[in-house]
């Protein structure tokens, strides 16, 4: 299922078909919330939630829910209801982005100010609490979670399909939460153990399962096709693609442009994210060179020179080249495993387009 121009066009067409419907549904949902609210402050906060949820993004996870549904034989006439389930997944993604930005102290998200920064500026001067923006954003993240559940239970689904979806939905965010805990436990570490497999486990829990496996499985479940055999096939396909997605993200997180990533290009280094790139660079260095690299990376207050040093050593150690090679191998593996899926030929080009998107570096 090698990606080509046709598969890229297929994904682009699929996105044009469904992204406006996802965004339109969430816009209507929050307009209704604003109209139904009894208090002005709630109307104001729902307006902020609606604006945040509407920020431009690829919507890859909700698209994979819809693609999984259609690819596994779901009826096209029911996609209006499936868009609701997919929109709930997108809203949960927004919730996690709010949490991530607070944890990472990140000022930007999707090319705009992070949600907690928006709220901090909005309510500046009301109290003496310097963390007010973060406090409100965390509570509103809970509101988004509640909103997502409301959407799920407002959507119509076939017999047993909603129950299957909700079980996967719960597993998704439980697994992702533990992945985030592991990430936090290993950010700005006091030391970097040699040959540490934690970066791979974080990538599996926070990205491979969350971004590819669970969304496809949700769509499959809504279509009624989630047999144990197919679940295993989806997992075997999804994990290498998801890991490749994370490696791509890690490379862009160090060597990308702010305009492409929507966040500061030095954020992963400044936040001390223990990615596979950093682990590999550390493992490949020896003696004083390794000690200097680890010291610069684990420093809580990094100068611009420290950031550039870490970036240069990731490149000079060969870690960047090895990451690109690993990325290519994982994409190739996912590409070969796509043929094992019991996927509709009509939608296989779209799935190939997803693979092609992850392939691009």
Q: What is the dihedral of CA 144, 147, 149, 154, to 10 degrees?
A: -160
Query: Model-level pTM?
Result: 0.94
Q: Provide the pLDDT for residue 159.
A: 79
Q: Provide the pLDDT for residue 186.
A: 94
Give one word for 113, left, alpha or beta, with left for phi > 0 and alpha for psi -120 to 50: beta
**Would you say 159 and 205 are in contact if contact means Cβ atoms under 8 Å apart?**
no
Question: Which one, of 354, 337, 334, 331, lies nearest residue 66 by Cα?
Answer: 354
Question: Hey, which CATH number is domain 5-359, 2.60.40.2380, 1.10.600.10, 2.40.50.140, 3.40.50.300?
Answer: 1.10.600.10
Q: Provide the pLDDT for residue 260.
A: 62
Q: pLDDT means per 10 residues in the chain (361 residues)?
A: 72 97 98 97 98 95 98 96 98 97 91 95 93 97 98 92 96 97 94 93 96 98 91 98 97 82 77 95 95 95 94 96 98 98 96 96 84
Q: Provide the pLDDT for residue 265.
A: 73
297-305's contacts with Cβ under 8 Å and 24+ in sequence apart are: 297/192, 297/269, 297/272, 298/188, 298/189, 298/190, 298/191, 298/192, 298/272, 300/188, 300/272, 302/269, 302/270
Question: Which one, of 357, 318, 315, 314, lies nearest residue 334 by Cα?
Answer: 357
Per-residue CA distances from 212 to 79, 215, 343 (Å): 20, 6, 15
Q: Provide the pLDDT for residue 203.
A: 97
Q: Provide the pLDDT for residue 2.
A: 52
Q: Provide the pLDDT for residue 100.
A: 94
Q: Provide the pLDDT for residue 263.
A: 65
User: What are the extents of the domains in the chain?
Assistant: 5-359
């Amino acid at each position: 299922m090698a990606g080509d121009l046709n598969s890229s066009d297929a994904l682009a067409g699929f996105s044009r078909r469904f992204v406006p419907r996802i965004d339109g549904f969430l816009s209507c949902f929050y307009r209704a919330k604003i109209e139904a609210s009894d208090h002005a402050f709630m109307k104001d906060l729902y307006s902020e939630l609606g604006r945040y949820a509407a920020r431009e993004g690829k919507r890859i996870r909700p698209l994979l829910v819809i693609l999984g549904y259609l690819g596994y034989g779901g009826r096209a006439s029911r996609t209006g209801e499936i868009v609701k389930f997919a929109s709930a997944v997108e809203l949960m993604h927004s919730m996690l982005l709010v949490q991530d930005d607070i944890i990472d102290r990140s000022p930007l998200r999707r090319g705009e100010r992070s949600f907690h920064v928006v709220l901090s500026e909005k309510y500046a001067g009301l109290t003496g609490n310097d963390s007010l923006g973060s406090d409100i954003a965390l509570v509103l993240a809970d509101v988004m979670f509640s909103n997502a559940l409301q959407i799920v239970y407002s959507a119509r689904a076939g017999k047993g399909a909603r129950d299957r979806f909700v079980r996967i939905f719960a597993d998704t965010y439980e697994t992702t939460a533990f992945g985030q805990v592991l990430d936090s436990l290993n950010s700005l570490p006091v030391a970097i153990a040699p040959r540490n497999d934690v970066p791979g486990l974080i990538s599996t829990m926070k990205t491979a399962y969350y971004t590819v496996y669970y969304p496809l499985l949700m769509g499959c479940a809504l279509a009624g096709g989630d047999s144990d055999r197919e679940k295993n096939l989806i997992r075997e396909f999804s994990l290498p693609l998801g890991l490749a997605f994370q490696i791509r993200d890690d490379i862009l997180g160090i060597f990308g442009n702010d305009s492409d990533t929507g966040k500061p290009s030095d954020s992963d280094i400044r936040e001390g994210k223990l990615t596979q790139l950093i682990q590999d660079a550390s493992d490949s260095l020896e003696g004083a060179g390794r000690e200097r690299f680890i010291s610069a990376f684990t420093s809580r207050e990094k100068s611009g020179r420290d950031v550039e040093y870490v970036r240069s050593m990731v490149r000079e150690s060969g870690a960047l080249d090895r990451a690109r090679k690993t990325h290519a191998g994982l994409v190739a593996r996912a590409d070969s495993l796509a043929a094992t899926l019991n996927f509709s030929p009509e939608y296989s080009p779209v799935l190939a387009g997803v693979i092609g998107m992850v392939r691009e570096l």
